[in-house]
Structure 1
Amino acid sequence: MSRNSDGATTTTISLLQDTEAAEKNSGGDRPKEPWKGELVKSIVYSGLDAIVTSFSLISSISAGRLSSVDVLVLGFANLVADGISMGMGDYVSSNTEHDVAAKEKLVTEWDVTNRRRLQEQSLLDRYRALGMNHEDATMVVEIFAKYSDIMVEEKMVQNGILSPEEGEKPWKTGLVTFGAFLLFGSAPILAFIVLIPFTQNDTLKFIGACVLSALALAALGIAKAKIAGQNYALSVVGTLFNGAIAGFAAYIIGWGLRNVAGLEEE
């Protein structure tokens, strides 16, 4: 609490309330925040890739007029193999980024300790380039210079590298990617299993696979829009279009190899 020259008292809470009220009235509705986190992104993007990959394989097999057994055997074998590849790829990529960040932090810590004036000048130039005047930029850099750890983090941000302590563990992102790939990639194949008691018509089973793939793609399109803060309708249309193009291309290739190239069974 403080007292002004007129003897009136003001409080920090009152000032904060006035500031919040002014902000609410001045900027309109606050935009919705996107989903955050590496695990969410791994689930959505590996899921999208899995559905498109699995549906494309089924399309090419169906165009070649192979049986439902062929679809199930080849589909699940391809799904597991690709899932392992995707999971290991995500793990290796995340682990490499983590190692690079750790190495970069060691270098930055050495620079801040042994070349402090050069690092301070680098921050000063950056803040001035962002629009600060010389006096304000100098004051900010002088404050950072008192705290070596904060200055290291600021230099890491300036170089576009996250601290190795931030983000998810590489093994966790790899495992999540593998699980999401298997889960969503099985959606197109699921129709061939669900419809077994009801029909032996492979064409109907393929149509069922198309429907389930479209539903899964639409759901992930909504999740993708949530992550990126995009328009839901446009995101859903985009993912459906992506899946349709990939499936159509695979179907045409499978049909062409069988009927045009003459790859008929003997």
Structure 2
Amino acid sequence: MNASKRRQLQREHRPENIARRLAETPRPQRLSDMVLGGIDGCITTFAIASGAFGAGLSPLVVLALGLANLLADGISMAVSNYEAVNAQQRFADNARRIEEEHIHLVPEGEREEIRQIFANKGFSGQNLEHIVDTVTANRGLWIDTMLTEEYGLSGTPPDPLASAWWTFIAFIVVGAIPLLPFLVPALDFSRQFIVSSLLAALVFFSIGLVKGWIYHSSPLRAGMKTLLLGGCAAAVAYLVGNGMQRAFGAI
């Protein structure tokens, strides 16, 4: 670690900076929603382009199918993500109600759960009892601790609408990129497909780079992995389209 990075970390871990950071309300991470929508959008439209090119269809067919699937699948992805996140939210709400009821009906049993949770973390004796007393003295902290430790739930409540929105936007914006060359009539179908392939490859690689950079893993490796996954999906679509064309002739 270089000296400037070390100094930056030291500044971030001063008591006043730590207190300010912990006082902030955690923001939901939208990267997973955007990556989900972006990758699926690009795969969807480029797979259509690959299959149509392999089957010998026209650029107009690529545009028609691509735009129709872009909108329909974008809405489908958004709805699916909304339902998934909404299910998580309902689970968290139900778990909170259960813990509130248990604390009301069997408080000593819930205190024992807190005691065993922190005992498993290595606390014992007076230190353990002090932690138990502190946690159970605050009903909100008590419930939040049980949700985190027993159910593995995050303290940041999920937002189904926001997740659906960002998935839809990423799907539409990124998914439209492989279709752009087919809007250029000056290029023949082969050149349109080549440019579309290059754009799709750039998109897949860029998404992987961003993932690697944000999650502090190797950006190059993440980029190549995402590019390989997207390329495999497109290759399957091309082979299916080409196989149909060979089997049944011009479509």
> Normalising by structure 1, what TM-score?
0.80
Counterpart-to-counterpart distance in 1, 2:85 and 2:214: 19
Pick from 231, 239, 247: which aligns with 1:252? 239
Question: Of Structure 1 and Structure 2, which has the larger fraction of its residues in helix?
Answer: 2
1:37 deviation in Å? 3.1
| Contact 2:41–2:172 (8 Å) recurs in 1 | yes
Instruction: Give matches, 1:51-62, under 5 Å.
Output: 51-62=42-53
Runs of 5+ unmatched residues, structure 2: 1-9, 15-26
| Contact 2:55–2:250 (8 Å) recurs in 1 | no
Counterpart-to-counterpart distance in 1, 2:159 and 2:224: 33
Asked if residue 186 in structure 1 is aligned to residue 176 in structure 2, the reply is: yes
Aligned to 2:130: 139
Deviations 1:155-179 (A, max 9, x none): 010111235xx34521121122111
Which amino acid in 2 is paired with 1:140? I
Counterpart-to-counterpart distance in 2, 1:172 and 1:141: 37
Which amino acid in 1 is paired with 2:179? I
Aligned to 1:217: 204
Instruction: Give matches, 1:29-108, under 5 Å.
Output: 37-108=28-99
| Contact 1:38–1:167 (8 Å) recurs in 2 | no
Aligned residues: 228
Deviations 1:183-211 (A, max 9, x none): 11111111211x32x32x10100000001
Counterpart-to-counterpart distance in 1, 2:128 and 2:102: 20
Pick from 172, 188, 195: which aligns with 1:208? 195
1:135 deviation in Å? 3.3
Aligned to 1:263: 248
Deviations 1:21-43 (A, max 9, x none): 9x89xxxxxxxxxxx73322211
Counterpart-to-counterpart distance in 1, 2:163 and 2:50: 30
| Contact 1:187–1:213 (8 Å) recurs in 2 | yes
RMSD: 1.9
Aligned to 1:160: 152
| Contact 1:64–1:255 (8 Å) recurs in 2 | yes
Pick from 166, 179, 183: which aligns with 1:176? 166
> Normalising by structure 2, what TM-score?
0.85
Give the stretch that moved more between structures: 250-259 or 128-137: 128-137
What is the DSSP-based 3-state SS (H/G/I as helix, E as strand, rest coil) of the residue aligned with 1:104? helix
Which amino acid in 2 is paired with 1:232? P
Give the stretch that moved more between structures: 122-131 or 75-84: 122-131
